[in-house]
Amino acid sequence: MKFDHIIIRYGEISTKKRNRKGFVDKMKAHIRWSLKDIDGVVLTANRERMYVLLNGVDHKPVIERLKGIFGIQSISPAIKVERDLEVMKTAALYYLNQTSEEVGTFKITTKRADKDFPYNTDEINRALGGHLLRNTEDVTVDVKNPDLNLLVEVRREAVYMTGEIIQGAGGLPFGSSGKAMLMLSGGIDSPVAGFLSMKRGLDVEAIHFYSPPFTSERSRQKVIDLAGKLAEINGSMKVHIVPFTEIQLLIQKQIPENYSMTTTRRLMMRVADKIREKEESMAIITGESLGQVASQTMSSMFAINEVTNTPILRPLITMDKTEIIKIARELDTFEISNLPYEDCCTVFTPASPKTKPKREKVNYYESFVDFDSLIEKAVTETEILTIKPGQTFDKEEAMEDLF
C-alpha cells in the first residue's frame, strides 16, 4: 500500500477573485519545474486545490520539494482505496504509521458522499478507530484536539483518506508580483531580503557593486555563492556585477569624508535604477534595517531616496539583527555571508559618516562633480552572470588566500 496522491492547498491565492487563475498558473509552473526530474508524477489543478498524482512514486521526496514552493499553504498525502471495510482498516493503519511526526492521539472523521455505502458514518468511525487502537501502542483517541484527524471520504468510485497537514512555504507564487532588482552586497542582510521578496511573489535579479583591486575576487565569488543559494528557489538567478572602482575613487577625492557614504549609496541607487530600467523591472530591493548602520537611519534613507522615484523595497526594515541572522541560518546563507571578504561599501567606509545627512548639503557637494558619464560607463561595462544552484564557494582556496 502506498500514498497515491498529494493534496496542495492554496494560501493567499484563496482570497483572490477574478485574477486567481493567474496566480494558480504561476504556482503550477513552479511546481512542475520543481518536480521535472521525478518521472511519473502528474499535476492537476482546480480553482480550490492542486493534486499531485504519484503513480507509484514515493511521496516523501515530492513533499520535501513542495514545502519550498511559495504560494502553498499546506500539503497532505492522501490515499485511495477500495470500498471495502477491511481494506479501509488496513489503509487507516498505514496512514497513521506513515505520518512524518509521531502521533499520540487521533480521531476519525468520515464523510459519506455515497449514501448507498452499507455502513453509516458512526459505524465506519468505530470500525477504523477500533482497528487503530488494537494495532498500535500508546495511541489514544482525542476528539477535541487530536494529533491526527484522519478524514475518510466515501464516494461511489472509491474511498479517500487524508489527514496529516504539512505546513507549506506560504507567500505568493514566484513571479506573480513582477520583477525587482536586489542590491546584493555579500553581507548577512541582503540575501535574506532577496528571499523574503521572492516569497512575496517577486522574480528577483541581483546587482553587486565590485571595486577591484580594493575588493578581492573572493568577495565577488562570495556574492555568486549567495546568488546560488537564492537560485535554488527557481533554478537560476541573474547577477549584474557593476564595476564601481572609478566612481568610488572620485567620491573619495571630491566629496567631504563624512558625506562620502551618503553619496556612495546615492550613486549606487542611480546605477541600480538604470539597470532596473534596462531589465524592465519595477522596484529595487535593499537589505536595510532601520538604525542598523549610519546609512540606514531615517535621515540617510531620506537623502539617498532623493535620487530615484522607483519603489525601494526594504523587507528587513523593522527586523532586529538576531531575527535576520535566524532567517539567514535557515536559508544556509549565514556561513557564506560571514566569510571575511569585504565589499566595496565596507572598504571605503569613512571613520565618522554622517548619520543625519542633509539633502541640500549632499546635493551641493555632488554639484561640483560630473558623475553622469561614470554612471553610464559602469552600466555599460556591467558583467551579467546567470547563476545556477550549487555553484559553491571554494573554501580551500579561500583559506589559502587568507595567508
Is residue 226 annotated as involved in ligand binding?
no
Distance between CA atoms of residues 66 and 54, nearest Å: 13
Round to whole Å and give the CA distance between 251 and 336: 29
Residue with cell 464523510: 111
71 in a labelled binding site: no
Q: Are 196 and 315 in contact (CB under 8 A)?
A: yes
Q: Is 73 annotated as a binding residue?
A: no
**For residue 249, what are the CA distances in angstroms to 121, 214, 243, 353, 380?**
78, 10, 12, 17, 19
Residues 6+ apart with CB under 8 A from 308: 269, 270, 273, 284
Question: CA distances (Å), 55 to each of 30, 62, 80, 250, in order?
Answer: 20, 12, 12, 63
For the chain, the C-alpha Rg in angstroms (whole number) is: 27
Cβ pair 323, 293 in contact under 8 A: no
**265 among annotated binding-site residues:** yes
Does the annotation list 168 as a binding residue?
A: no
Distances (CA, A) of 364 to 79, 132, 303: 70, 78, 12
Concatenated DSSP letters for 68-80? TSTTEEEEEEEEE
Query: Is 296 annotated in some ligand binding site?
Result: yes
Nearest-10 Cα torsion for 29, 33, 35, 41: 50
Cβ neighbours of residue 379 closer than 8 Å, sequence gap 6 or more: 242, 271, 274, 275, 278
| Burial of 183: CB neighbours in 10 Å, binned 0-12, 13-18, 19+ | buried
Q: Is 131 annotated as a binding residue?
A: no
Residue from 169, 166, 202 nearest 68 by CA: 169
Residue 153 belongs to what H/E stretch? Answer: strand 148-154
Torsion sign, CA atoms 331, 52, 29, 15:
negative
Name the binding residues for ATP.
183-184, 208-209, 265, 287, 296
Annotated binding site: 183-184, 208-209, 265, 287, 296
